[in-house]
Amino acid sequence: MTLRAPYASDPQHSRGRRFPEAPPANRTEYQRDRDRIIHANAFRRLEYKTQVFINHEGDWFRTRLTHSLEVAQIARVLARSLLLDEDLTEAIALAHDLGHTPFGHAGQDELNACMAQHAPEAGGFEHNLQSLRVVDTLEERYPGFDGLNLTFETREGILKHCSLNHAKQLGDVGQRFINRTQPSIEAQLANLADEIAYNNHDIDDGLRSGLITLTQLMEVPFFVRHYESVRHRWPDVEERRLVSESIRQMINTLITDLTRTTAERIQLANPVNANVARQCEPLVRFSPEMRAEANQLKKFLLKNLYRHHRVLRMMTKAQRIVRALFEAFLDQPQLLPEDYRREGHNEQARAISDYVAGMTDRYAVQEYRRLFQIEEGF
């Protein structure tokens, strides 16, 4: 029997699905959500979508898929320690990037710019909203409904942030942004598990790529403290292993601090059930000291990795690809697969954003070549 605290989400008391279904026979409602996410087309495509580096730049760099798996692993550890529902936490973690475009945030920003320029009334593009759109509408696997028909709690957790205007259009899942309440503790936990994963694993990928150096990382006290501790214990171990162990210990420090601080906040707030927890101030937090160190690490990565000239050059190319595809399809919708052709202008722009956002890095490059380059056998 699974131990679950009173403040945890309980699958037997879920707020349900958009389309009623018979309860699962041999798993919980949240386990069903997790399984549906894993089997979704959008989840498989994450294998060929960028985390930081473009997909073709190397097989050893993280993709959106490996990142999502790492987030889910960290989230489950946290959920178990705090007696939360592990399956709900895992489902949210696995689904949080389903709406990401090719080429990472550069692709998202350019797609949003295209929507704002060519269809300003269509609502723009934001990957978090797109993740919800994927699970609510775009997946086509079941005969009785569009999307995956996930529980309210999983959908709520996927929608990490949202403007007031968008929230008013989303029904129950957007209501907390209007009421200024919180999502479930599981959702809050998955959000910070995402931060732990990408900050630390981007260090690993940055070092592997040569875009950041060990010397540069010595500017970050949080890294230095763990690196020196590891080197003191294993003075004769090669650098690659020292770095890997340092990152592992950094993750452990963040998890330990987050668990302790969150447990203290929960004890102080004393929510008697999951609904009361939603009315509290955010309960999942780092300590102020750890938050400051995590922010310092984020600033380092922004300056030295995400804004590295080689990354920016590739992102500029990626943005040109996304814009060229969007504008070509909007100018000539007959270039689109028939399933993505619409009558109204705003509807057509939205369908194009769905099509482009669903592409992997390599498929977007292939589409660009098919449209703009003359090759034999086209």
- The pLDDT score that the predictor gives to residue 270 is 97
Task: Look at 6-20, 68-82, 191-205, 327-341 and tell me which has the smallest mean pLDDT.
Answer: 191-205
Instruction: Please give the average per-residue pLDDT across 172-199, as a whole number.
Output: 95
Q: Are 79 and 89 in contact (CB under 8 A)?
A: yes
- The pLDDT score that the predictor gives to residue 18 is 96
Instruction: Please give the average per-residue pLDDT across 230-236, as a whole number.
Output: 94
Catalogue all structural domains in the chain, each as residue range(s) with its CATH number. 27-311 (1.10.3210.10)
Instruction: Please give the average per-residue pLDDT across 231-235, as a whole number.
Output: 94
pTM score above 0.85: yes
Q: Which helix (H) or strand (E) holds 248?
A: helix 239-269
Instruction: Please give the average per-residue pLDDT across 50-74, as a whole number.
Output: 75
∠ at Cα 340 (337, 342), nearest 5°? 125
Task: Look at 40-49, 56-65, 169-178, 255-264 and tell me which has the smallest mean pLDDT.
Answer: 56-65
Has residue 176 got a pLDDT over 60?
A: yes
Provide the token pair at 44. Answer: 């498989």
- The pLDDT score that the predictor gives to residue 53 is 53
Has residue 212 got a pLDDT over 60?
A: yes
Which of residues 150 and 123 earns the better pLDDT score?
Answer: 150
Query: In this prediction, what percent of the chain has a pLDDT beyond 70?
Result: 96
Entry field: residues in the chain: 378
- The pLDDT score that the predictor gives to residue 52 is 63
* pLDDT-based confidence at residue 171 (cuts at 50, 70, 90): very high
* Closest by CA position to 119, among listed 334, 376, 284, 354: 354
Has residue 146 got a pLDDT over 80?
A: yes
Q: For residues 167 and 179, what is the distance between their CA atoms, to the nearest angstrom?
A: 10
Has residue 357 got a pLDDT over 50?
A: yes
* pLDDT-based confidence at residue 28 (cuts at 50, 70, 90): very high
Has residue 272 got a pLDDT over 80?
A: yes
With helix as H, strand as E and coil as C, how does 90-155 read?
HHHHHHCCCCCCCCHHHHHHHHHHHHHHHCHHHCCCCHHHHHHHHHHHHCCCECCECCCCCEHHHH
Backbone angles phi, psi at 126, to 5 degrees: -145, 130
Instruction: Please give the average per-residue pLDDT across 241-263, as a whole number.
Output: 96
- The pLDDT score that the predictor gives to residue 163 is 87
